[in-house]
Amino acid sequence: MRSPITRLVHWAHIKPDVPALLGETVRVSYAELLRGVRARASWLHHMGVRQGDTVALGLAKTGADYPRQVELFYAIAYLGATVLPLYPEVTLLRRGQLADQFNAQWLVSEPLPETSRARLLNPAECEEQRDQWANSISPCGEIPSLPFLYEFTSGTTGNPKTICFTGEEYTARWLVTAQQFQWNADDVMVSALCWPFKVGVRGLVRALIFGATYVNAPFPETRHDLAGLVTHLGVTYVGSSPWQLRRLLNSPMPLNWEQLPPFKVGTAGAFIGPHEIRAVRDTLTKNFHMSYGTTELGTMGYLGPEDTPESSLRSVPGMECQAIDSAGEPLPIGETGRLRFRAAWIPTRYATGNPDSVEGFHDGWFVSSDRGSLDAQGRISLQGRADDAINFGGIKIQPQEVEQALAAHPDVADAAVIGVPDAMAGEIAVAFLVLRRPIALDGMQAFLAARLELQQIPAAFAGLEDIPRNPEGKILRNHLRSTYAAMVAQTPPPS
DSSP annotation string for 27-76? EEEHHHHHHHHHHHHHHHHHHT--TT-EEEEE----GGGHHHHHHHHHHH
Domain span(s) for CATH 3.30.300.30 in the chain: 390-490
User: Residue 479: how many CB atoms within 10 A of its CB?
Assistant: 15
Q: Which CATH architecture has domain 390-490?
A: 2-Layer Sandwich (3.30)
CB 304 within 8 A of CB 327: no
CB 55 within 8 A of CB 23: no
Backbone angles phi, psi at 386, to 5 degrees: -95, 0
Predicted pLDDT at 356: 45
Taking the chain (495 residues) in consecutive chunks of 10 residues, what is each chunk's mean pLDDT? 93 97 93 95 95 93 80 97 91 82 90 76 82 82 94 56 93 92 95 90 96 95 94 95 82 88 87 82 94 89 93 92 92 93 90 59 88 91 73 80 83 88 86 88 84 88 85 71 85 64
- Helices vs. strands in the chain: H and E counts, helices first: 14, 25
**4-218: which CATH topology?**
Rossmann fold (3.40.50)
pTM above 0.75, yes or no: yes
CB 29 within 8 A of CB 14: no
Gap between the Cα atoms of 242 and 265, Å rounded: 11
Residues 6+ apart with CB under 8 A from 91: none
Gap between the Cα atoms of 75 and 71, Å rounded: 6
Domain span(s) for CATH 3.40.50.12780 in the chain: 4-218
Backbone angles phi, psi at 427, to 5 degrees: -145, 150
CB 296 within 8 A of CB 202: no
Q: Are strands 337-342 and 365-374 parallel, antiparallel or unpaired?
A: antiparallel
CB 426 within 8 A of CB 419: no
